[in-house]
Amino acid sequence: MTQPKKTQATSPAEINERKDSARKRAMGEGGFDMPRHVAIIMDGNGRWAAARGLPRVEGHRRGVEALRKTVRAASDLGIAVLTIFSFSSENWSRPQSEIRDLLSLLRRFIRNDLADLHKSNVRVRIIGERSDLSSDIRGLLEEAEGLTHGNDGLTLVVAFNYGARQEIARAAGRLAVEVAQGRLSAEAITPELIARHLDAPDIPDPDVIIRTSGEQRLSNFLLWQAAYSELVFVPLNWPDFDRPALESAIAEFRRRERRFGGLIAQTGS
């Protein structure tokens, strides 16, 4: 009897071997590699649903499916860090029914997908304010981080209850406490020191930020970290985003010339 094909690596060694192979295949002319860190503003779920006469929650459900595809594609392509803007601190102003739907989808995603993420060697990190979240949501986020803490494949950073201005304000507050306690002088505060007090200071800044739906703004997402990121705006609504769309956005990134305020640096170098 013919054995079914194995479609997913079952050990960290197999996953890393597949990732290394994908990275080599993805190298372009001149040997330029994939971006190390890709961040995505997942926009357009509501517009996708409205265009089809469907309720907004259906757009959010299809958006979760697009997220699953994108995480798999990012891992296969050898991207080290994928950051997704899942829930903004401003989203609490939406209708309560939509907030309930979004939180329900978050609960379902973690309960249904966390085991698969862990099996695929994905490490989950959370950025954003947690103190005012309900205990069950906070517990789910902590469970996702705790279970996958030892994984060394793709790092999936989930920006939840997140706002970049709020993140910067939290960093400033931490530094203010150190100044007030006499452990730090105000003159010693530098951009590098502020960066070390952000929500995930060990994660590199994104090489490229992708926004779907055709909107062309950052919407309070990674404002500090985006200082030298390339921005790619994709006309697709998020539920239609898939691996070819990700590869196309990365191809656009790799055509850019990055200067970082000085000499030209070829992307991916």
Residues serving a catalytic function are 43, 91
Pair 172, 181: CB distance under 8 Å: no
Pair 26, 218: CB distance under 8 Å: no
* pLDDT digit string, tens, across residues 116-171: 999 999 999 999 999 888 898 999 999 999 999 999 999 999 999 999 999 999 99
Map residue 62 onto helix, strand or coil. helix
Span of 5-9, 114-118, 234-238 with lowest mean pLDDT: 5-9
Taking every pair of C-alpha atoms in the chain, what is the biggest distance, in angstroms?
74
Q: What is the domain partition of the chain in residue ranges?
A: 40-256
For 57, 60, 62, 99, 101, the CA distances from 96, given in Å and listed in that order, are 12, 15, 20, 5, 9
* pLDDT digit string, tens, across residues 194-227: 999 999 999 999 999 999 999 999 999 999 999 9
CATH of domain 40-256: 3.40.1180.10
Span of 102-111, 116-125, 153-162, 175-184 with lowest mean pLDDT: 102-111
Strands 208-211 and 230-233: parallel
Is residue 173 pLDDT above 60, yes or no?
yes
